[in-house]
Amino acid sequence: MATLTDPNPATRAGGIGARVTRVDGPAKVTGTAEYPSDVAVKRPLYAYFHTSSIALGRIESMDEQEARALPGVVEIMTWRNTAGMLDTVPPSKGGSTSIPVLQSADIHHDGEIVAVILAEDYETARDASHRLRVGYTSRTPTATFGSTGLGPELQKDGPRFKNSNVGNAAAALQAAAVKVEQHYATPTQHHNAIELFTTTAQWQGDELTIHEPSQFLVGSQNTIAAALRIDPAKVRIISKYVGGAFGAKGMTTSRTGLIALASRKLGRPVKMVATRDQGFTIATYRAETRQLVKLGASRDGKITALIHEGDEVSSRMDSYKVGGTETTARMYSIPNVASKVTVQHADRNTPGFMRAPAEVPYMFALESAMDELAIALQMDPVELRRINDAQIEPIEKRRYSSRSLVQCYDAAAKAFGWDHRRAARPMSMRDGDWQIGWGCATACYPSMIAPSFARVSLSDSGAKVEVAGHEIGTGAYTIYAQTAAQMLGLPVDKVEVIMGDSRLPPAPVAGGSNNAASISNAVAMACMRIREQLAAAAVNDPKSPLHRRDAATVQLMDGQLRAANGTGEPLAAAVARAGGGVEAMVGNNPKNLPPEALAGLRKGRLMMTGGSMAEDFVKYAFGAEFVEVRVHRLTREVRVSRMVGAFAAGTIINPITARSQLMGGMIWGISSALHEATEIDPRNARYTNDNLAEYLIPVNADVPKVDVLFVAETDREVNPLGIKGIGELGCVGTAAAVCNAIFNATGVRIRELPVRIEKLL
């Protein structure tokens, strides 16, 4: 029988592990790939959001006269005509916020939607928005850390994370020969995908179709149904391509229900494309953190104590938090660990997932502190990670299903030339006016898997894979085609992948880097059902050369149905015997998840396992990243001049798309270190740089050379195909590696991101 863990036979035809160029590449570069806001609908109305100019208070008056008088304005929806018509779906049920929209005159955060203007064209709707006169009474809002009025923890909705407590961290720290105790901080960030937040809604009778970029079609389908109090079977979401998501399109924002409501009310399709600045407040973001890390070690570098405490910001009504200490507490072999995460409530919109939500901020702190400890110990920071490597995590004492962190350090250090480091001392490398520094840090990401359905059909013209999955730019269309090609013994160009429609077999959220593992394993399972059907028919057919062979040993390879001894028949003959086509629809429920997880997926529930969650093993992908920076002696300008990352993530389905994912992650990491931060005006709790001119992201000139290496790794525990997700792995640890390099260049330690010139003066 073809085993899932042996991927070698079909790679030459574009199977698992083959360097297949993106199957959707031509559609994207020729402009024929249809993004949701490209979809043309008949006689649409255009919606424009009017958003609040205060963060906390009430609407006292709203004069719609001038706006309504504008020719082309059809309707204005406010709380006065919309209250009671739309239910708020909290984050725990698939929504993005518990803050109700257009349900009362209350204002909860800056930029909250207070009116939806509907007009015959976009410009008129926008013009009318400017003519709406809204009077507010305003109270002083709480913006962020340091503002008065920060609320205590609500713990009412949102993920709860266990604080870790093993051994006696305080006592071990007290007794440690060498200590580091420092505060770290990470800023607010917004995803800022090139594709804006868009929704197009259209009704046919009581059936609703939504065109909207989505990371979770089935979730969105159910969330919108819940918001509108209708049957989810009446809702269809279509999202063939997504122009950047990064976590922002995983939970359904309230806008979708509003636009659907508008369309139903007015009996016409409604199209809405939010502006860039509205995207900062009508969707989610990465909240700022403050962290305290204490590390204690013996003089030989053995870490004896870790205390890691984090504070995060959320809205008044939600307790969303990322709790990255789940990961940092298990990262190294430390006998005494204490961690704690709390959330503080402010008058802000509710935060949410953003690329490696937990690991990016928390590993910045831990990996910076590790570098500080190495310096205090006068030890090579690579050596410090080696000495404290954990094959068994210290909290529940489970084995890592596989962990190749040390191998990643070895591979990346060699490629980077780490041994040639002239001196570990800061300010020891120079090129004219440029101070050069080298640094490194650990990357990691939990290896998640979720239930998924998939349907595969095979005919004499090839195979078709159907799943309500998502192409968020990762190469999803390509890798599912490769998986089916591998399992069916077909060339990859004979496999068509159909995704992006909630009517297809349900797939989990394209988040938590789970989709490659979740969907590929479901696709593989469906292909195995097809093999079983074809093999059973062949061994029972006296006319087949496979007659009376053992069906279990019959494989699909090289376009043949083939027995173990090499006897075979063309796939076409096997398909003809099955009446010209054969189909398999499967639902794969990964081990460690309860049986109801599959049925839950149909209802849009999010159930995943992996990382520190399963009982048998702890499951993570790892990497090591090395960075060279150049800091100008006088201007303090920082340039990243070189970067090497080595990653071990089990089965790599496609080295080309995987490299792009990891490279993109590392570039995002540079961005986290040097560029990105949403600035908040503490007086009015307002995001001030809510545009792409002032919200900085790296351009090509900021990213000179990024090398991505793969360390071979076979993991037989994570899932049958041995896949560990890589979407978020590359951006974890990078910011620490950059700051560690900056310290090596300048002797200045940056503990608050992003690095700005003034912090290096």
Active-site pick, 288, 367, 676, 728? 728
- Nearer Cβ to ligand MOS, position 353 or 687? 353
Q: How far apart are CA 345 and CA 342, in angstroms?
A: 10
Q: How far apart are CA 256 and CA 198, in angstroms?
A: 9
φ, ψ (nearest 5 deg) of residue 204: -125, 105
- Nearer Cβ to ligand MOS, position 466 or 728? 728
Q: Kindly state the helix (H) or strand (E) to which residue 294 belongs, with its residue range.
A: strand 289-297
Specify whether the CB–CB gap between 79 and 132 falls below 8 A: no
The first and second tokens of residue 580, run together, are 């010209």
Whose tokens are 């909705």? That residue is: 157
Cβ of residue 352: shortest distance to ligand MOS, in angstroms?
8
Cβ of residue 250: shortest distance to ligand MOS, in angstroms?
5
The first and second tokens of residue 645, run together, are 């990352």
One-letter amino acid at 113 equals I
Q: Where are the beta strands (DSSP E) in 298-413?
A: 303-314, 336-345
Cβ of residue 353: shortest distance to ligand MOS, in angstroms?
4
- Nearer Cβ to ligand MOS, position 357 or 489? 357
- Nearer Cβ to ligand MOS, position 429 or 608? 608
Q: Pairing between strand 336-345 and 165-166?
A: antiparallel
Q: Pairing between strand 45-51 and 270-273?
A: parallel
Cβ of residue 577: shortest distance to ligand MOS, in angstroms?
44
* Residue 464 neighbours by CB under 8 Å, 6+ apart: 456, 457, 458, 495, 496, 497, 498
- Nearer Cβ to ligand MOS, position 256 or 560? 256
Q: Pairing between strand 560-562 and 462-466?
A: unpaired
Q: Pairing between strand 495-498 and 462-466?
A: parallel
Cβ of residue 723: shortest distance to ligand MOS, in angstroms?
16
CA dihedral of residues 176, 177, 178, 181 (deg, nearest 10): 40
The first and second tokens of residue 226, run together, are 């819940």
Cβ of residue 729: shortest distance to ligand MOS, in angstroms?
11
153 is catalytic: no
- DSSP alpha helices (H): ranges in 548-702? 571-577, 596-602, 655-670
Q: How far apart are CA 564 and CA 412, in angstroms?
A: 41
DSSP sequence for 18-32: --PPPTTHHHHHTT-
* Residue 105 neighbours by CB under 8 Å, 6+ apart: 58, 59, 60, 79
**Side-chain-side CA neighbours of residue 417 (13 Å):** 10
- Nearer Cβ to ligand MOS, position 269 or 506? 506
Q: Which residue is nearest to ligand MOS (CB)?
A: 247
- Nearer Cβ to ligand MOS, position 201 or 472? 472
Cβ of residue 61: shortest distance to ligand MOS, in angstroms?
40
Specify whether the CB–CB gap between 365 and 308 falls below 8 A: yes
Cβ of residue 95: shortest distance to ligand MOS, in angstroms?
16
- Nearer Cβ to ligand MOS, position 628 or 728? 728
- Nearer Cβ to ligand MOS, position 149 or 244? 244
Cβ of residue 226: shortest distance to ligand MOS, in angstroms?
21
DSSP sequence for 364-396: HHHHHHHHHHHHHHT--HHHHHHHTB-SB-TTT
DSSP state of 315: -
Q: How far apart are CA 291 and CA 182, in angstroms?
A: 8
Cβ of residue 499: shortest distance to ligand MOS, in angstroms?
16
- Nearer Cβ to ligand MOS, position 448 or 571? 448
Specify whether the CB–CB gap between 565 and 558 falls below 8 A: no
The first and second tokens of residue 55, run together, are 């963060």
Q: How far apart are CA 118 and CA 68, in angstroms?
A: 10
Q: Residue numbers of the site for ligand MOS (CB under 6 A)?
A: 215, 247, 250, 353-355, 357, 511-512, 728
Specify whether the CB–CB gap between 21 and 195 falls below 8 A: no
Active site residues: 728
